Amino acid sequence: MFSLTVLVVVVVLALVFDYVNGFHDTANAIATSVSTKALTPRAAIMIAASLNFVGALSGTAVAKTIGKGLVAPEVVTGHVLIAALGGAIFWNLFTWYFGIPSSSSHALIGGLTGAVVAGLGFSAVNWNGFKEILSALILSPIVGFVLGSVIMTLLFWLFKNTSPAKINNNFRRLQVLSACMAAFSHGSNDAQKSMGIITMALVSAGYLSNFEVPIPVMLACATAMALGTAVGGWKIIRTMGMRIFRIEPINGFAADFTASIVIYSASLLSAPVSTTHVVSSSIMGVGAAKRFKGVRWGVAQNIVTAWLVTIPSSGAVAALIYTLLRSFL
C-alpha cells in the first residue's frame, strides 16, 4: 500500500515513459517510408501517431505480462516503481540524445528488475517470468532478421523480370500500407507496457482488487504514446532509415511488413518485445538478402551493443534512484 501522492507520481511517470517511448520509437514505423520518400515526414508522423493510438487499444495481454510476470503487484512499492520508471526514462533519453535506437522495452524491464532487487531483494523477482520475457526479447529480433531475409528473397524472385522503375513505383505505394501495419503493431505492444505498470500500481495501492486494465488507463496510455509519436525522433530515424544500408521502396516494404508480423504476433502471444530490435533486425535481414556487403555492419554492431547494455544500465540507474529516494524520503 502506498499514498495517493506516490500513486499519482507513478502514474505521471508511466505516462511520461509512454510519451518518451512514442518519440523514441517513432522511427520503428516510419523510418523506411521517409527514407524512400514514400511518405513525407509530416504525413508519416501523423499516420504513425494515429495507428499507434488505435493499436494501443487493441488488447491488454502484454500489459498483464509486464504487470504480473516480473514481480507480484501485491508486494511492489511506490518507491520501487518510481525508481524503475526513472531508470527507464533516463536511458531512453540518453540513447535518443545520441541517436542510438536502443530498446524502450529493455529499458523498462531493466529498470523494473533493478529497482525491485534494490528495494525488495532478489527473491522478489519472478526469475522464471524474467527468463520468459528476456527470451522473447532475444528471439524476436532473430526471427525478424531471418523472416526479413526470406521475404526479401521471395520478392526478388517474384519480381525478377519487372523493371526497377515499375517496382519502385508500386512498392512506394505499398509502403504506405506497411507503415500503417508497423505503426499499429507498435502501439499494440509498446503502449501496453505502461498500462501494465499503472495497473500494477493500482492493485498495489488497493484501488483494484484484481489485475484488469481499466479503460481510462488504456485511453491515457494510448494518448501519451500517440502524442509522443507526433513529436518524432529524427536522430533515430536517420540511423534506421539511412545508415544501415541504402533502402529502396521494395526493401522498405519488406522490412516493415516483416516487423509488423513479428510484433503483432508477439502481442497476441502476450510477449513484450522490443519494436526497435525487431524493426532494425528486419532491416538488416532485408539488406543482407539484397547484398550482404551492402549492410553497414559497423552501424549494426553499435545497435547490437546498445541492445546488450540497456538492461544492466537502466537497472543500475533504477537501483541508484531507489537508493537516493530511500535516503532522502
pLDDT attached to residue 1: 55
Each residue of 105-141: pLDDT tens digit? 889 999 999 999 999 999 999 999 999 998 998 899 8
% of residues, the chain, pLDDT over 70: 90
The three cell numbers locating residue 10? 507513478
pLDDT at 30: 75
Give yes or no for a contact between 236 and 96, defined as CB atoms under 8 angstroms apart. Answer: yes
Residue-wise pLDDT for 265-312, tens only, equals: 999 999 999 888 888 888 888 888 877 766 666 666 766 777 788 899
pLDDT at 296: 66
With a CB cutoff of 8 Å and minimum separation 6, the contacts of 256 are 29, 32, 33, 175, 178, 179, 181, 182, 279, 282
Look at residue 295 in the predicted model and tell me its pLDDT.
Answer: 65
What is the per-residue burial (b if ≥16 Cβ within 10 Å, else e) of 197-231?
A: bbbbbbbbbeebeebebeeebbebbbbbbbbbbbe
Indicate the pTM of the whole model.
0.88
pLDDT of 244 above 60: no
Helix residue spans in the chain (DSSP H): 4-24, 26-35, 41-56, 61-69, 78-97, 104-120, 127-158, 164-204, 215-231, 234-238, 249-268, 275-290, 297-328
CA distances 301 to 24, 280, 284, Å, are: 20, 11, 11
Q: What is the mean pLDDT of the chain?
A: 86
Give the number of other Cβ atoms within 10 Å of residue 135's Cβ.
11
Q: What pLDDT sits at residue 230?
A: 77
Whole-number Å distance between alpha carbons of 216 and 317 = 30
Give the C-alpha separation, 193 to 184, whole Å: 15
pLDDT at 80: 95
SS3 59: coil
Instruction: Give the per-residue pLDDT at 241.
Output: 43
pLDDT on residue 89: 94
Q: What is the pLDDT of residues 31-44, one digit of tens each?
A: 778 777 888 877 88
Residue 45: the pLDDT is 81
Say if residue 22's pLDDT is above 60: yes
Asked if the model's pLDDT at residue 75 lies above 60, the reply is yes
What confidence tens digit (pLDDT) does each residue in 163-197 have?
888 998 899 999 999 989 988 998 999 889 999 99
